[in-house]
A and B are shown apart, each in its own frame.
Chain A
Amino acid sequence: MSDSKTSIGEVELRERVRALLAQAHPDRVDRVTFRRAQYDHGLAWVQFPEGYGGLGLSPGLQAIVDDEIARHAKTIYWNLAINAIGIGMGAPTVMTYAAEHYKQQLLPRIFTGEDIWCQLFSEPSAGSDVAGLATRAVRDGDDWIVNGQKVWASIAHKSSWAMLLARTDPDKPKHDGLSYFLLDMKSPGVDVRPLYQITGDAEFNEVFLNDVRIPGDRILGKEGMGWRVAITTLMNERVALGGSSRPGHGLSEKLLNLWREEGPRGPRGADGRTQAEIAILRDAVVRLHIESELLGITNQRTKSAMRAGNPGPEGSVAKLVQAELNKKITELGLEVIGSDALVYETGYPLRRGEDFPARTRRENAKHDFLRARANSIEGGTSEVMRNILAERMLGLPGEPRVDKDVAWKDVPRG
């Protein structure tokens, strides 16, 4: 952040937001018009350079922009709801590595949500060890021909573009043989199928790639540089997953409401539970509530540290805490409900995640309990997060790598 401009302070930034709102107000124009104007004012990603939706400022100042818009508008667009992967991960990757004409073409449409983006990294045989992936890209003239299977691709069925990681050289060690492509999801040979989870919902997809042709100028970075580009994407993923909860509105909010409405001291009564049992359960609720509050405070500390330009370990801690805590909170939710936790009222009809009907508080609690199992797997398992914390933050040595200097094709897989 040392190269960031410090010439624009908070006051000028707020003035700039008001100038945007004078020109295009979200309560009066449609989403695409407003978001395009926000982009043109350099208020989409303030850390990006001027002309690319930014102003060359410290990323922590984006919060000022969001705050100022929220003060003056009723219609608030959430990046996470519009195009989480595109805005949070695609854009920084495009900004850093794409050719100029792709930046101009793609960045504004990512921000407006005209183009939804997805990520095609994980494969059935490459989870935590994503750099071991097997999808092959083979040169054909100026183009590349891609074959393989990707998995855990959220919103791939709605996406216009994908960030695709594929192997271009199987004779090199795994990290060195990868390349990073921009894939037009409408290309022939791209087959997207729903992947049903333990909830019965399909939030994710399997994506089959059969002789998919990609023009040569859609490599980000250079051939063989794919891992470096992917790191940019993945670092932004962890920021996006860990950092949303605030004190008083954290993970435990639902648990407290569940306790009040459905718990042994709520209107449904004790369900035969003794005062001692209730006291034990209540203590567990408060304990998790406290941890949830501390997660929210930790996120605020991350923001304070980012504003001051000294990000510490707080941000990396948040993803791990959020995952583990949400599992514990939702597990306890079923205990709060009591014997009726045996019933799963909605059943398990297999359907797209966005298609489920409105559910009652208890039905939600049961669904949340199942959905939370993925929290410590998606976006980096808790085990991987612990490795990162220990190795990058504490400086502990890595595990010896048996696949480090071996050609990818010679590494055992399964």
Chain B
Amino acid sequence: MDFGFSDEHEELRRTIRQFLAAESGEQAVRAAMATERGHDPKLWQRMAQELGLAGLVVPESYGGAGMGPIEALIAFEEMGRALACAPALASHFAASVILSVAGEADREALLPGIAAGTSIATVAHVDAAGRWDLSDVSNEARREGTGWRLDGDWRYVLEGHVADRLLLVARVPDGLGLFLVEGETAGLTRKALPGLDLTRRLADLHCSGVAAKRIGEGDARSGLERALLLTIAALVAEQTGGAARCLEIATDYAKTRYQFGRPIGSFQAIKHHCADLLVSVELMKSAAYQASFVAATGEGDLETAVRQAKSYCSEAYFAVAAENIQIHGGMGFTWEHPAHLYLKRAKSSEVLFGSPAQHRERIGERLGL
């Protein structure tokens, strides 16, 4: 695999980084965090329309940016660095699911709004048991006349409190089905969750005889699997960008904080921690790049690449974010310092889409161990 980034890729990275530095700095993040929605809808529409961040992989014919997994990797790395408060991951998940499951009419109906940032869509597949694999889906859709009804709980839904289009996964007689539920529908209750991570919002959904439109035909399992893997690939890119930023913050502090008459970064006790963080970040990049390059090229096994990345990047991001606090000493433990925002994002993205142990278990299975 050649991990070359083109000049266009580097330009995309620069553009997003500059935009987020100007529009989504720490103050903007803290302001968005404090709102009920959890993000600034005007900023999100600009991110969608000026940078294409809402419809990265949506083809241009549906109003999207028409890009692929490598561009998504870059975009999520940058959003992760900036801790951007935005429904980007939810939108990416929804767009990926629609592209791999929906027919033409549904694509035309759903994708342009997502890409423009005017419609927030999300995917719900985790049931009351709180498990993340599609094989764990236990909610069942029931037929009623020519339509479908949904009952049950869907948990930890990205942006579930604000999404106007909810794509719910439920069992159907021929496998898994994808169902569209509009945000304001009789029988649907949504409960915004007070999150460990303040920069990304989750909600629980409860359906009580909710009328739903089925999207796509036949068993949606394999399409959903691929979309889920592509979404996790975006999440590991985000983790990698966040960890790289934590390393920069920690290193800058180690150079400028003096104790005992020396910069603390001149003590091997601190310096060696920084070196270990650099190693973690480099291995995270390897993991995240591999996942997205496999997705882009089709060379290699996507599931293995994504699961190994999710396992490694989850633990490494948390370790880097935690060490960043330690290197900052007392200052790093204050509300005022951004270190805790990264720590909380790191821990919650470790849990999101399955724990490291769960992904390792699946890799062990694939290796026949």
Contacts and interface: CB of A to CB of B under 8 A. Distances in A.
Interface in A250-272: 256, 259-260, 265
Interface string A369-403: 00000000000000101110111011111111000
A301 interface: yes
B275 A394 contact: yes
Given A304-B2, A399-B266, A399-B267, 4 more contacts: A287-B360, A298-B282, A317-B283, A389-B279
A174 B286 CA distance: 40
Given A297-B286, A297-B289, A290 B271 contact: no
B109 interface: no
A300 B278 contact: no
A57 interface: no
B364 A397 contact: no
A283 B360 CA distance: 7
B77 to A, nearest CB: 14
A229 interface: no
Contact of B367 (A247, A289, A317): A289
A158 to B, nearest CB: 35
Interface in B255-303: 255, 262-263, 265-268, 271-272, 274-276, 278-279, 282-283, 285-287, 289-290
A287 B1 contact: no
B263 A397 contact: yes
B303 to A, nearest CB: 13
Contacts of B278: 313, 317, 389-390, 393-394
A398 B282 contact: no
Contacts of A260: 368-369
Contact-residue bracket for chain B: 35 or more
A313 B271 contact: no
Interface string A317-352: 100110000000000000000000000000000000
Nearest to A398: B266
A285 B265 CA distance: 34
B312 interface: yes
Interface of B: 1-4, 247, 251, 254-255, 262-263, 265-268, 271-272, 274-276, 278-279, 282-283, 285-287, 289-290, 308, 311-312, 357, 360-361, 363-364, 367-369
A387 B360 CA distance: 32
A168 to B, nearest CB: 31
A294 interface: yes
Contacts of B311: 286-287, 290
A333 to B, nearest CB: 14
Interface of A: 247, 256, 259-260, 265, 282-283, 285-287, 289-291, 293-295, 297-298, 300-301, 304-305, 307-308, 313-314, 317, 320-321, 383, 385-387, 389-391, 393-400
A260 B364 CA distance: 12
A294 B286 contact: yes
Query: Interface of chain A, helix or strand or loop or mixed?
Result: helix
Contacts of A385: 275
B367 A396 contact: no
Contacts of B247: 394
Contacts of A256: 367, 369
A301 B4 CA distance: 8
B287 to A, nearest CB: 5
A270 to B, nearest CB: 14
Nearest to B307: A290
A286 B361 CA distance: 8
4 smallest CB-CB distances across A and B, nearest first, come from A386-B275, A396-B265, A297-B286, A389-B275
Contacts of B367: 256, 286, 289
B286 A390 contact: no
Given A290-B360, A394-B251, A397-B266, A386 B2 contact: no
A301 B271 contact: no
A393 to B, nearest CB: 6
A294 B364 contact: no
A213 B135 CA distance: 75
Given A294-B308, A387-B268, A398-B266, A313 B360 contact: no
30 contacts: A260-B369, A285-B364, A285-B369, A286-B311, A286-B363, A287-B360, A294-B312, A297-B286, A297-B290, A298-B283, A300-B1, A300-B3, A304-B2, A304-B3, A304-B4, A308-B4, A314-B286, A321-B283, A383-B272, A390-B265, A390-B271, A390-B278, A393-B278, A394-B275, A396-B254, A396-B255, A396-B263, A396-B274, A397-B255, A397-B263
Contacts of B290: 247, 294, 297
A394 B274 contact: yes
Contact of B363 (A290, A305, A386): A290
Nearest to A284: B360
Contact of A307 (B1, B4, B357, B369): B4
B69 to A, nearest CB: 16
Nearest to A263: B369
A259 B263 CA distance: 47
B279 A321 contact: yes
Contacts of B272: 383, 386-387, 390
Contacts of A389: 275, 278-279
Contacts of B289: 297, 301
Contacts of A394: 247, 251, 274-275, 278
Given A283-B357, A286-B367, A298-B286, A400 B279 contact: no
A320 B274 contact: no
A294 B291 CA distance: 11
B308 A314 contact: no
Nearest to B357: A283
B183 to A, nearest CB: 39
A282 B369 contact: yes
B286 A386 contact: no
A301 B3 contact: yes
